[in-house]
C-alpha cells in the first residue's frame, strides 16, 4: 500500500490528542490512494448507482437508527479486496464518521434547530446530516461534497429513507461568496490543518454576512482540538459511540456537537 496514504489515513483516523497512532487495520484497505490514479470505467450515473448498491450494505446499527445508509461493512467485498480494484477516489462517503453521527443525532433530537430553515451540509459524505435535516423539517437542504460519487451515494441514501429529494452538488464551496444559508452543518471536517484554517475563515465570513448558525460534529480529532477555532465554540451535546464505531476509530468513545460563535 502507498506509504504516503498510510500516513494520511493515520493522520485522519488516529489524529486525536489523547490517542496514539496505531495500526490502521482493515479500514485502511478500503480507503486506498489507488482510487486517485484509477479512472473509473463506470461512466454513467446508473452504472455507478448499481455498483454502489452491489458493493455496500444497508446499515442501521449506529446512533441514528432512524436513518438507514449504504456503507462499507466487513460483509462487503471491498472491505477485504485489493485496493487497486476500487474504481473511484477514496470512498469516505462509505463510512459514517462519528462527527457526522453526533450531528445527525442532535438534529433528530432537536428538530427546532432545522425546522423551516435553509440548510447547507458541507462535506456531506454519505448524506446522513442532510437527511436528518430534511426529516427534522428543514425547508431547503443542499448537500455538498467534492467527490461526485458521494453525491450519487447521498441520493441513494435519500431514496432509501424515503425523504423528499434535495440537491447534491460537488463544487467546492469553501471560500466562495457566502450565500444566505440559515444553518451550516459540518461533520468530521477538521482533519487537516490547512482545511481547518480555511473553514475557520470562511465560516466566520458566512456568520458576519448572513448571521448563519454553524454546527460542528467532531469526536476530538487533533486538528480540531488544537485549532484556534476551539476558542469560539459552545458545547451543545455529547453522544456515546457504539462499540463498532469505537473499534473503527481507535478507541474514541464519544462525539460532540458544537455551536461556532466567533468573536466579532
Cα–Cα distance list, 51 to 29, 42, 85 (Å): 18, 8, 13
Q: What is the model's pLDDT at position 144?
A: 97
For 84-131, what is each residue's pLDDT tens digit? 888 888 899 999 999 999 999 999 999 999 999 999 999 999 999 999
pLDDT category of residue 180 using cuts at 50, 70 and 90 = very high
Nine cell digits for residue 130:
442532510
Nine cell digits for residue 233:
465554540
Q: Name every residue whose Cβ is closer than 8 Å to that of residue 1 and which is 6 or more positions away in sequence.
A: 28, 29, 32, 33, 83
For 23-81, what is each residue's pLDDT tens digit? 333 444 434 333 333 445 566 899 999 999 999 999 998 999 999 999 999 999 888 88
For 233-263, what is each residue's pLDDT tens digit? 999 999 998 887 887 777 788 999 999 988 7
Window from 5-9, 127-131, 138-142 with minimum mean pLDDT: 5-9
How many Cα atoms are found within 13 Å in the side-chain-facing hemisphere of 7? 4
Q: What is the model's pLDDT at position 23?
A: 32
CATH number for the domain formed by residue range(s) 94-260: 3.40.50.150
Amino acid at each position: 500500500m502507498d506509504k504516503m496514504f498510510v500516513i494520511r489515513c493515520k493522520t485522519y483516523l488516529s489524529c486525536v490528542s489523547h490517542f496514539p497512532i496505531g495500526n490502521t487495520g482493515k479500514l485502511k484497505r478500503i480507503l486506498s490512494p489507488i482510487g486517485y490514479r484509477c479512472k473509473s470505467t463506470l461512466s454513467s450515473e446508473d452504472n455507478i448507482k448499481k455498483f454502489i448498491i452491489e458493493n455496500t450494505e444497508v446499515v442501521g446499527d449506529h446512533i441514528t437508527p432512524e436513518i438507514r445508509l449504504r456503507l462499507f461493512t466487513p460483509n462487503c467485498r471491498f472491505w477485504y479486496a485489493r485496493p487497486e480494484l476500487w474504481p473511484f477516489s477514496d470512498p469516505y462517503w462509505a463510512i459514517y464518521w462519528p462527527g457526522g453521527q453526533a450531528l445527525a443525532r442532535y438534529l433528530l433530537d432537536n428538530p427546532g434547530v432545522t425546522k423551516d430553515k435553509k440548510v447547507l451540509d458541507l462535506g456531506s459524505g454519505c448524506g446522513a446530516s442532510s437527511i436528518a435535516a430534511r426529516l427534522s423539517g428543514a425547508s431547503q437542504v443542499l448537500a455538498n461534497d467534492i467527490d461526485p460519487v458521494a453525491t450519487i451515494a447521498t441520493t441513494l441514501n435519500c431514496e432509501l429513507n424515503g425523504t423528499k429529494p434535495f440537491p447534491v452538488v460537488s463544487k467546492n464551496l469553501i471560500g466562495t461568496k457566502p450565500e444566505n444559508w440559515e444553518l451550516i452543518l459540518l461533520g468530521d471536517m477538521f482533519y487537516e490543518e490547512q482545511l481547518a484554517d480555511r473553514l475557520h475563515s470562511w465560516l466566520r465570513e458566512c456568520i458576519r454576512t448572513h448571521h448563519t448558525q454553524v454546527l460542528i460534529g467532531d469526536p476530538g480529532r487533533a486538528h480540531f482540538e488544537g485549532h484556534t477555532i476551539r476558542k469560539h465554540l459552545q458545547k451543545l451535546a455529547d453522544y456515546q459511540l457504539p462499540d463498532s464505531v469505537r473499534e473503527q476509530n481507535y478507541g474514541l468513545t464519544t462525539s460532540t456537537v458544537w455551536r461556532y460563535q466567533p468573536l466579532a
